[in-house]
Structure 1
Amino acid sequence: MFSSYTNNNNNNNINFVLKLLKLFLFILILYCHPVYCSWLMTAQLASAISAPDYYNCQMQPGLVKRQREICRQHPAAMRAISEGLRNAIDECHVQFQRERWNCSASFGVVGPVKGAATAETAYIYAISSAGASHSLARACARGLIPECGCGGGEQTYVTSAAPEGFNGRPEQFIWAGCSDNVKFGNQFTRKFIDSTEKQIMDARHLNNFKLVVKNYF
């Protein structure tokens, strides 16, 4: 029974990531602005999370005012976003390590992506958005983000039946209280991105973006 639940949860996560990839590929093929993509520089936070959160947010290049506010108000969530972006950068390097373009030209070390609406830009933004959302969902499920639905919950030890040939001993695992909170990861990522959109899109562009989001989600 637990195995079936886990499989269903994994399938939901995969479907969510695929939808997110399609969404941001579509958006960036149509429109991409240097400021619109600059929030990827949030990955720098991963290497400086030991410093005061306020200082990190204030000194972080590439973020608009609203994003700095979100950063200060939700330090735990920002750590998750940072980790997700770092993972996305690493994965991008792995996937294209034998290609002429291997992400380095766009990412630098943790720098912003190119402003041109190219296939490479679309790929970078899509995988980064998916990585941030997935990392947020996992951190939420583990109870690491107080403001999400799984935050602050007590951990529960659950005993499962041992399979045959496993010395007959039941196995214990920690259940944090809920599955990966995909909804939280999705909403927080869109909220963070939306802060930049409002400064570079007019009302028509923003409405079109919302329509695309509604159709996909």
Structure 2
Amino acid sequence: MRTQRLVARLYLLLMFPADIIGLWWAVGSPLIVDSNTICKNTKLLAGRQKTICKHEPEVVAEVARGARVALLECQYQFRNRRWNCTSASRSLSRILKTKNLRSFTPFTAAGVVYVVTQACSMGTLPQCTCEHPARDKSSDGEWEWGGCGDNVEYGYRKSRDFMDARKRKRKGDLTTKIQLHNNEAGRLAVKSFMRQECKCHGLSGSCTLKTCWKKMPPLREVGIRLKETFDGAIRVIISNDGKYIIPEGITIKPPSKQDLVYSDPSPDFCKKNRAVGSLGTKGRECESNSLGVGGCDLLCCGRGYSKTLLAFRENCKCRFLWCCEVICDTCERTKVVHTCL
């Protein structure tokens, strides 16, 4: 239930500007993000969002699912960080410009691309089909395009139409420029890393001809790429003419389309602070023998940690019996858990 509430809060924050978030808090945020919830109040929608809600409700359902998938992937990638892609605050808009929250938006944009494209390939979206690229003339007849390629262009377009619709109407301010930039970086983390998969055809397993198609990278790979880009995110300011974002430091190269950017530093997230949306790290599990990310020294912010011995049971000494039966003993194990104070 808590995760569902968080999905709803983050999704509404990413889809709509901060000045209308208060309305959702006043009426109570929905527990589950679905197409009916998103499209219920057309006054909160803009441009292409209205069109998609009216004519393609099944796409909106996949958009919502993409947001949920993105949240879970973000939480996995940042599971050992002080900020683990969660927040306890209604005031998320206050830190939307920080490195952490601003860098969550590309996860959502990528998640929407991924899930919509996947639904297209599975045939659950009647308005799109598999991708069928033109035959590659340089293949020399050794392979040809075929099969059901992932139509990433469709997923990319729907993610852009829905995620960027309202922000494009306000694209003159720094916050909007950063969000649009990071949304695009998230989409490119999928689109720019499409891979080619092939299947052999021929008698007796020979490979006289290969049929090939385009396939998205694994979602976990996309998440790893975004986390690595997050670690190298570039702090930016707006140019004097107000048209561009530029690095804050004159010696830093301008961000590419695949770089992540932010304008304000994040809080340290060590202590619970509703004003900045921090849950704090008290009660988080840590690794006592690690000096890096996830280690108790860093994760517990120098407050120390407790040790708890947990007992549990698991299958062990498994044997295979002819035919088709596996028998295991039950062994008792213990595990030391370290928890931040």
Amino acid at match of 1:47: I
Corresponding residue of 1:191: 161
Aligned positions of 1:168-187 closer than 5 A? 178-187=148-157
2:99 to 119, 124, 130: 119
Identify which range, 81-90 or 93-102, moves more after superposition: 93-102
Counterpart for residue 71 of structure 1: 53
Q: CA RMSD in A?
A: 4.4
Contact 2:49-2:161 at 8 Å conserved across structures:
no
C-alpha separation in 1, matches of 2:42 and 2:73 = 23
Which residue, out of 112, 119, 124, partners 1:132? 112
The answer on whether the counterparts of 1:150 and 1:178 sit within 8 Å (CA) in structure 2 is yes
CA distance in 1 between partners of 2:44 and 2:152 (Å): 26
Q: Residues 60 and 101 from structure 1, CA distance in 2 versus in 1: closer, same or farther, beyond 3 angstroms?
A: farther
> C-alpha separation between the residues in 2 aligned to 1:46 and 1:181?
31
CA contact (8 A) 1:37 1:115 kept: no
Deviation at 1:127, TM superposition (A): 0.9
2:15 corresponds in structure 1 to 38
Residue 107 (structure 1) shift? 8.4
Structure 2 length-normalised TM: 0.35
Change (3 A) 1:112 1:147: farther
Q: How far 1:150 sits from its partner (Å)?
A: 3.7
User: What displacement does 1:63 show?
Assistant: 4.1
**Which of 1 and 2 has higher RCO (CA within 8 Å, sep 6+)?**
1
Note the C-alpha offset of 1:178.
Answer: 2.0
The alpha carbon displacement at 1:69 in A equals 3.4
Residue equivalent to 1:87: 69
| 121 and 87 in structure 1: CA distance in 2 versus 1, 3 angstrom threshold | same
The alpha-carbon deviation at position 216 of structure 1 amounts to 5.2
Residue 272 (structure 2) aligns with: none
User: Structure 2 CA distance, aligned partners of 1:145 and 1:86?
Assistant: 19
* TM superposition shift of 1:82: 1.1
Give the deviation of 1:66 after TM superposition.
4.4
Q: Which has the larger radius of gyration?
A: 2
- What displacement does 1:75 show? 1.1
TM-score by length of 1: 0.52
Give aligned-pair identity as a percent.
Answer: 24
Cα distance, 1:54–1:121 mapped onto 2, change above 3 Å: closer
Structure with greater proportional strand content: 2
Q: Which residue of 2 aligns with 1:200?
A: 170
Mean Cα deviation higher: 89-98 or 111-120? 111-120
CA drift at 1:197:
2.3
CA pair 123-202 structure 1, distance change in 2 beyond 3 A = closer
Q: 2:286 corresponds to which residue?
A: none
Verify the 8 A CA contact 2:120 2:130 in the aligned structure 1.
yes
**Letter aligned with residue 197 of structure 1:** K
**Count of equivalent residues:** 149
Structure-2 change in CA distance of 1:60 and 1:95 (3 Å): farther
User: What is aligned with 2:223?
Assistant: none
> Does structure 1 conserve the Cα–Cα contact (< 8 Å) formed by 2:48 and 2:161?
no
Q: Which amino acid aligns with 2:49?
A: Q
In structure 2, relative to structure 1, the CA distance for the partners of 1:46 and 1:69 (3 Å cut) is farther
Q: Structure 1 residues 95 and 36, CA, compared in 2 at 3 Å: closer, same or farther?
A: closer
